[in-house]
Amino acid sequence: MDTIAPKTPATLPFAAWQAMAPAAAAQEVQRRMAALPADLRAAALAWVRPEQALAGELAAADPKQPLSGVPYLLKDLFDLAGVPTKAGSTFLDQARGLPGQDGALPRRLRELGAACAGKTHLVEFAAGLFGDNAHYGDCPHPFFTGRLSGGSSSGSAALVAAGVAPLAIGSDTGGSVRLPAAFCGLYGFRLTPHGEFIRDAMPLAPSLDTAGWFTANAADLLAANAALVGPSRQSKEPRGCFLPAGELGIPFDPATAKACDRAAADLSKPAGRDTTAALLASWTGAIEAYTVTALHEAHAVHRDWLAPYHEHYEPGSWQRFSDGGRYQPEQLAKAAATFAAVRTTFRRFFADYDYLILPASPFPALRKADCTPEARKHILTLTTPASLGGLPVLTIPVALPSGLTTGLQVIVPTADSAVVPWILKR
């Protein structure tokens, strides 16, 4: 039986925060942080802006900007001037020093009127999906004690769900926005690799890393996207399809499969036989290609730190990053060929369709004992296609009879696709 966590304050939309005086909003953020269960607070909060400083940031915002008065939380991969960036580790600030300036994404958020209330913990160096961290504690689900929030953007997702702030920034390499959004019942959006908002963040695998964000409701995600992405492209009534859970070749929790298929059917029709076959054929080998590429690139990022900071890494992270330097040219070439095949198939798909819907997870939030290599493989079966495709993804929550949640991935060809507001307004 699941144990329900102590009640957290209700989430407030952007408009409610924007209606508060700056000092009142800063005080409310602090109150909500203080109300968190101790284990969630420790596992999710990496740094907190002092109340008076946050009030000043909120007061300094241009009231004409669309996000004026909105407090947000920042995944601790993104730099803030003078604040340590640790990326879920204990040593990154020693290896790199303190940032001298804000990263591109927090800088843009300040220009839009938002104020950073704090930084959030993550899976060490963003290399994981479950929300576990040996240094700061595994990030618990905000509502179901004994289950995890999902990761790697664990703190960001858990704290938006817990009502601490209405917006949080994450990143997504292999599902790190999509999975915690599904587990925590949030709306999420991931951008594309090499974009301006991710280029100066601490990388995991630069060719796969994307920036993203979470909100608790559709209207707020619509507002965040309008501000950060810009106006959507005009189009006719969008045309999309979905792949039913039973077509995806992995075991699903029955309630999750049923709920995902039902929610997807409200937004599109099932993909035809030829479309399904073409997509699934191109995704053969996607997990292997993703793993080889991500770890090879992670090794390049960490190569100079692996020896001097060996004892400071989580052992599993150190081993995976070390192993990433041992891939042979033929393995890298095979991975590159799979990337190319996936991208070619998606280009053909988007010549006929505007969006593709897949489940975001084959089960709801997991207990630690269920966070196994098999569970990781089943998640990556769903998330690696868009990752290899380098595509933006909208995640929308799907409620389950148990009170837990899953989600749908809505994969689109461009971040400014008109599909995103079309779905959010529905």
Tell me which residues are annotated as active site: 75, 152, 176
Is the peptide bond between 152 and the residue preceding it cis, with omega within 30 degrees of 0? yes
User: How far is the C-alpha of 284 from the C-alpha of 289, rounded, in Å?
Assistant: 9
Scanning 112-253, the segments in alpha helix (DSSP H) are 154-161, 178-184, 218-228
User: How far is the C-alpha of 260 from the C-alpha of 258, rounded, in Å?
Assistant: 6
User: How far is the C-alpha of 8 from the C-alpha of 49, rounded, in Å?
Assistant: 21
Residue whose C-alpha is closest to residue 398's, from 373, 372, 423, 369: 423
- H or E segment at 14? helix 14-18
**For the stretch 309-330, what's the b/e string if a residue is b when 16 or more beta carbons lie within 10 angstroms of its beta carbon?**
beebbbeebbebbbebeebeee
Q: What are the DSSP E strand ranges found in 124-283?
A: 144-145, 167-172, 187-190, 210-215, 240-242, 269-270
Per the structure block, which two tokens stand in for 339? 């990337």
Q: Are 129 and 170 in contact (CB under 8 A)?
A: no
Cβ neighbours of residue 349 closer than 8 Å, sequence gap 6 or more: 275, 278, 279, 356
Per the structure block, which two tokens stand in for 50? 């002092």
Q: What is the CA radius of gyration of the chain?
A: 20
